[in-house]
Structure 1
Amino acid sequence: MEYYAIVHNDFDGTASAAVYARAVKSLPKNVFFTEPNKLHSLLSSLELRGVYNVMIADLGINASTFDEIIKNLKKLIEQGANVEWFDHHVWKDEWKEELRKIGVSVYHDTSTCGAGVIYKYKNPNDDFSRRLASADCSVDIWLHDDPMGEKLRRIVENNKDYSWKNELIKMFYNGILWNDTFDKMLEEVVSRELEGYKKVMKSYKLIQIDGHKVVVAVRWKGPPDISYASQFLMTRTNASVFASANGRSISFRSKEIDVRQFAVKLGGGGHPLAAGAQLKVPIIYRFLNRIGIKGPMLNWVTKIVQNTIADVGFITYQESKKSSTPPY
């Protein structure tokens, strides 16, 4: 079967592509790695070139681009494309209805990660896909219940080049979850992370909002990545929420608060415990941060975070689960 894979450019997207490939017993003709806020543009420029199957995975929907996504998918379907979309982010019911109306096969389940959705609905008897999805979900939706997830995430994200992710997709497709090369790579990555925590300590401030401690950080150079830095700083400060900005976007993390609410307020989305949005910091603050003067950018981002949380309020993850619509 010939098909294109369009996936998020992270561990979950990589794992999703591999699990799907194992389900259909074929590697994709091409893999397109992208972000949710760029999906509409990628679909607009996609040329089928004789390949009429398209899978989309681990890419949530931004309300601001949904109409463009519908228009571009409809155009592809009219050209003969068969489109399957697998996702686990929070969606509106009307989005699923609209996509199905134009002919998209939608597999949506918020109880698992992107790779988990594909494993569950396309290939539930494949033990390797189960193990890969378990490791992926552990870190992607902040379950932290599978040690292999912490290891594999570092391997996948060690090299930002898409050719590396393509190589990993082939390895996973062939049933290789870990090898000796990964051991050495993991050791080097962890060493860089440990050194990087010194930079993290100079890049944050702690504030209090309605009795909750909130860590606000601006991006540091190099590892650790946001997920590991957030765990480190929240544990160190006993904070409920972590927010980090890199100049173009902001990320939220928590172990107990539904931070997706904050991301949505800023025009983004994500998971209840790990979410983000675009946030363009004024260029002068970005420049100062780049040369080591972090205060102005940190203060600007902190004000955004304070105002956003004040508008939304704190909703626990358990409360949000009770009020959410059951996935289907």
Structure 2
Amino acid sequence: MSSAWCSVVKYLVVTHTDIDGVAAAALYSYLVGAKPVKVLYTEPYLLDRALRKLRSITGLHRIVFTDLGLNNNVVEAVAETVALLTSKGISVEWYDHHIWNDDWIAKLKKSGSRIYIDRTTCATGVVALYAPKEREEVNQEFIEELVRGVCSGDLFRFDHWKGPWYIRVVRRHDESSWRNFVFEKLSSGTAWCREFAERVVERFEKELAGYRSVDEYISIREADGLKLAVVLQHDTVENSFLASYIMARYGVDVVAITSLDGKISLRSKKYNVRELAVALGGGGHARASGAKVHIPLSTRLKQVINKRAVVEYIAKVILDKADLITEVERTTRSH
């Protein structure tokens, strides 16, 4: 890309907090050949907070969203914010791989956003396929290695040796300084480094202890042939790894991993859990989705003396809507 472009363009990236979000943002920066003025990390259920920060922004040429799906609770606010930004002359680009309703896509396109959704790959892969290639020279080997490694872990396919490593490099509870370090390394064209390896090894060691504590915080229920396990989130074990461990050990169909304040990650190998997540105000993929559930004060107080109070409450909420857990939908792309 030209040095003139570097000197005048100003853009901001809003992305997810996991490795796919960080890598997608970094790859976009690499492809356009310029660093963003800022990278905002957020969760889909907190997207409304990020939008409030964006509404007063001026002086940018574009705002880029990566690895962030929508849900019914935020789609109207997103469409309004996009319309406001485009009215200021700020272009909006959205790169994602989650399931989107057709009316959500229509609303954002009507508001002026360019949308690229491809459910056959991860968000990093979507950026690699559809983002503008404004850099003069790109290292295609670096791009392919990054996409294959990140997608392998994020999509839980593990068909590349770096998949289990990348998924542990960045976790959602990491400090912003570490995410920024990873962003800087990847956006400079470095797919792997010593610091990444050291962080992963440290996490491997802590994970082993985490698996041993699962039995204290799990509730297993069954209804209409569906076997469900709900377990408390563990700080040292990635949700997807914890879910796979529980499915294998207890033979359950669906796993819900919950925090004490009601943030739920839903996982299944053969059932579509997204419609349940949407009904709870969230969204995501067919086999991996998330939502936020309000935990009553009475349940939070019970948790003090009963370690399973929250997981038992979440189990009831899910089983009350178990009819929404159905077949897995096929993948599609939209842009």
Q: Please confirm whether the aligned pair reaches a TM-score higher than 0.5, indicating the same fold.
A: yes
Q: Secondary structure at the match of 2:222?
A: strand
Counterpart in the other structure of 1:189: 203
- Which of 145, 149, 155 is the matching residue for 2:159? 145
8 Å CA contact retained: 2:219, 2:308 = no
Q: Assess, with a 3 A threshold, how the Cα gap between structure 1 residues 137 and 158 changes in structure 2: closer, same or farther.
A: same
- Which of 5, 8, 19 is the matching residue for 1:11? 19
Q: Assess, with a 3 A threshold, how the Cα gap between structure 1 residues 299 and 159 changes in structure 2: closer, same or farther.
A: closer
Determine if the alignment matches structure 1 residue 227 to structure 2 residue 236: no
Amino acid corresponding to residue 195 of structure 1 in structure 2? A
Counterpart in the other structure of 2:65: 56
Counterpart in the other structure of 1:71: 80
Q: Assess, with a 3 A threshold, how the Cα gap between structure 1 residues 49 and 312 changes in structure 2: closer, same or farther.
A: closer
Determine if the alignment matches structure 1 residue 263 to structure 2 residue 263: no
Amino acid corresponding to residue 210 of structure 2 in structure 1? G
Count of residues in Structure 1 that have an aligned counterpart in Structure 2? 320
8 Å CA contact retained: 1:141, 1:271 = no
State the 1:70 CA deviation: 1.2
Give the Cα separation in 1 of the matches to 2:64 and 2:280: 28
Counterpart in the other structure of 1:245: 258
8 Å CA contact retained: 1:248, 1:281 = yes
TM-score (norm 1): 0.91
Q: Please identify runs of 4+ aligned residues in structure 1 that moved more than 3 A.
A: 324-328
Report Cα offsets for 1:31-63 as digits up to 9, x if no partner. 011122222332232243422211111111111
Amino acid corresponding to residue 299 of structure 1 in structure 2? E
Percent identity over the alignment?
Answer: 31
Counterpart in the other structure of 1:95: 104
8 Å CA contact retained: 2:218, 2:308 = no
Report Cα offsets for 1:193-219 as digits up to 9, x if no partner. 101112222111222232232211123
8 Å CA contact retained: 2:152, 2:160 = yes
Give the Cα separation in 1 of the matches to 2:216 and 2:334: 41
Give the Cα separation in 2 of the matches to 1:254 and 1:158: 20
Counterpart in the other structure of 2:324: 312
8 Å CA contact retained: 2:217, 2:307 = yes
Amino acid corresponding to residue 239 of structure 1 in structure 2? V
8 Å CA contact retained: 1:7, 1:33 = yes
Counterpart in the other structure of 2:47: 39
8 Å CA contact retained: 1:142, 1:274 = no
TM-score (norm 2): 0.89
Which has the higher relative contact order, 1 or 2, with Cα contacts under 8 A spaced 6 or more apart? 2
8 Å CA contact retained: 1:142, 1:273 = no
8 Å CA contact retained: 1:43, 1:73 = no
Q: Secondary structure at the match of 1:202?
A: helix
Counterpart in the other structure of 1:166: 180
Unaligned stretches of 5+ residues in structure 1: none
Q: Secondary structure at the match of 2:121?
A: coil
Give the Cα separation in 1 of the matches to 2:312 and 2:173: 32
Amino acid corresponding to residue 89 of structure 1 in structure 2? H
Give the Cα separation in 2 of the matches to 1:176 and 1:259: 36
More displaced 10-residue stretch of structure 1: 259-268 or 12-21:
259-268
Unaligned stretches of 5+ residues in structure 2: 1-8
State the 1:275 CA deviation: 0.2
